[in-house]
Amino acid sequence: MSSINIDGTDVPFEPGQTIMDAALAAGVYIPHLCHKPGISPHGSCKLCTVDVNGRAVSACTMAAAEGQKIENNTPALNEVRKSITQMLFIEGNHLCPSCEKTGDCTLQAVGYHLGMLDGHYPQFYPRREVDASHPSLVLDRDRCIMCELCVRASREVDGKDVFAIGGRGTGRHLIVNSATGKLADSDITTDDLAAHICPVGAILIKDHGYEVPIGRRTFDLHSVAETDLGEVKLTKTRHHDE
């Protein structure tokens, strides 16, 4: 069987698998937010950036190939990943203390995993529309990280094409493909994968917040990687853009 080498460990792969596919199958954690097995890769979050034979690529879109020497869990790559996570936090209103997804949020868990303490950059404080029109779903666009998992899940799995990303640059935002642009006028239901796939607190099921006791939530019990660092240094390292 063919294999790639991630951080010194040989990882087998099948022809057609990406680096991410092979790593996930072997239980090797490459940080990621916009990827979910079974849904086509996207390449937007950039957290899975790895060095393949000295060149930076997205593990979720790069095909695995014999002879690849891949650096993944390195201090330099994790520092860049922390900066990306900080950008995602300051671009939205990620006020975890008042979010129903806290403890169950992959973005937050990645922040913990990478030892993120602050947002570093000035806050954007976007003012994007909340859509609570649907009887059983609510859409808080201020928390959306535009991973397009809902877009892809609706299109590829649910066969409905409910969501899309509209706008350009920092004005990008999640839109609903209905005549009014409201979730209530789309045909999304709580049975759809798109209603549950959001990795953050942007798409929520109504009347189901704060049901799990603190200490029993997903990332209270599990690290996002299940291979954790012992502690987080509070030392303020010089940022690469300073």
Partner 1 sequence: MSKVRVATTSLAGCFGCHMSFLDMDERIVGLLEHVEFSRSPINDIKHCEPCDIGLVEGALCNADNVHVLREFRENCKILIAVGACAINGGVPAMRNHFSLQECLEEAFLDEIGVDNPHIPNDVEIPLLLSKVHPLHEVVKVDYYLPGCPPPADAFVKILTDLLEGREPALPKNMLHYD
- Minimal distance in Å, beta carbon 198 to partner 1? 18
* Strands, sheet with 203-205, edge to edge from the N-terminal-most edge strand: 130-131, 137-140, 203-205
| Residue 29 binds to partner 1 (criterion: CB under 8 A) | no
Strands 49-52 and 137-140 turn out to be unpaired
- Minimal distance in Å, beta carbon 86 to partner 1? 10
| Residue 127 binds to partner 1 (criterion: CB under 8 A) | yes
Residue with smaller CB distance to partner 1, 32 or 128: 128
Q: Are 37 and 149 within 8 A, CB to CB?
A: no
| Residue 96 binds to partner 1 (criterion: CB under 8 A) | yes
* Torsion angles phi and psi, residue 97, rounded to 5: -60, -20
| Residue 117 binds to partner 1 (criterion: CB under 8 A) | yes
CB atoms within 10 A of CB 25: 14
- Minimal distance in Å, beta carbon 109 to partner 1? 10
| Residue 231 binds to partner 1 (criterion: CB under 8 A) | yes
User: Of residues 31, 41, 103, 201, which one binds partner 1 by CB under 8 A?
Assistant: 103
| Residue 210 binds to partner 1 (criterion: CB under 8 A) | no
Among candidates 162, 147, 146, which has minimal Cα distance to 195?
162
Q: Are 237 and 76 within 8 A, CB to CB?
A: no
CA–CA distance, 155 with 34 (Å, rounded to integer): 15
First and final CA of the chain: distance in angstroms?
Answer: 46
| Residue 108 binds to partner 1 (criterion: CB under 8 A) | yes
| Residue 238 binds to partner 1 (criterion: CB under 8 A) | no
| Residue 236 binds to partner 1 (criterion: CB under 8 A) | yes
Contacts with partner 1 by CB under 8 A lie at: 89-90, 93-99, 102-103, 108, 111-112, 115, 117-120, 122-123, 125, 127, 142, 223, 228-236
